[in-house]
Amino acid sequence: MTQVYFVTGTDTNVGKTWATIALMQHFKNKNQSVIGMKPVASGCEKINGEWQNSDALAIQKMGSLFVDYSLLNPYAYELPISPHLAGKENPANLEIIFTNFKTLQNLTDVLIIEGAGGWYTPLNESETIEDLAKKLNVPIILVVSIKLGCINHALLTLQAIKNANLNCIGWIAVCNDANFDCIDLTIESLKSRLSISLLGISPYSTTYNPLIEFTFESD
């Protein structure tokens, strides 16, 4: 049976893609086939006549097998703004995303799905990332950017996930603030306050770092 995880974050630009790619590498190292999916992406450039997102392309490249871009990223918007604004002419349809999700799920041992922005980021005029997560109904992994304010953001996001009656199985610490000098103490504070397991820590890097050691209960 395919393992599926939905990667969400405390905000935008917190390292969700970095975490997604590292998770994909983790499962590849266990000799499992893995595919990534980024259903909605804002901030794209036109490549070979279609809008494509650099994060989605990185996820596509990390996959164990080639998957058509439009299957893993059906909604690619030019402007780097909230999807409900960037996609006014072609709003995200959760039914189409779900169909693509089921197709990808049947192709691989592990499927990692990356959300967009934070938990309540609007995808269209009436639905958010939370609605997408409910539709998919798979385990959630929370990405926390280790920086000033992250404890509050992490606690609020986890509570929102719990309020949605979804299963958040753990969190990943991404150290992407080069000027933050309280990393270890902040991570320890989060560990003591979050009621979910710390799965892994991504140290500061200026490029994608897939070499993170993760600890899952199933490992």
Q: Convert the pLDDT of each residue in 22-79 to its tens digit.
A: 999 999 999 999 999 999 999 999 999 999 999 999 999 999 999 999 999 999 999 9
pLDDT over 80 at 212, yes or no: no
pLDDT over 80 at 90, yes or no: yes
Q: Which domains are present in the chain?
A: 3-202 (3.40.50.300)
Residues 147, 17, 110, 29: what is their CA dihedral angle, to the nearest 10 degrees? -80
pLDDT tens-digit map of 133-186:
999 999 999 999 999 999 999 999 999 999 999 999 999 999 988 899 999 999
Instruction: Give the mean pLDDT of 203-219.
Output: 70
Q: What is the pLDDT of residue 219?
A: 47
Residue 206 burial (C-beta neighbours within 10 Å; 0-12, 13-18, 19+): exposed
Residues 110, 116, 122, 126: what is their CA dihedral angle, to the nearest 10 degrees? -20
Active site residues: 38
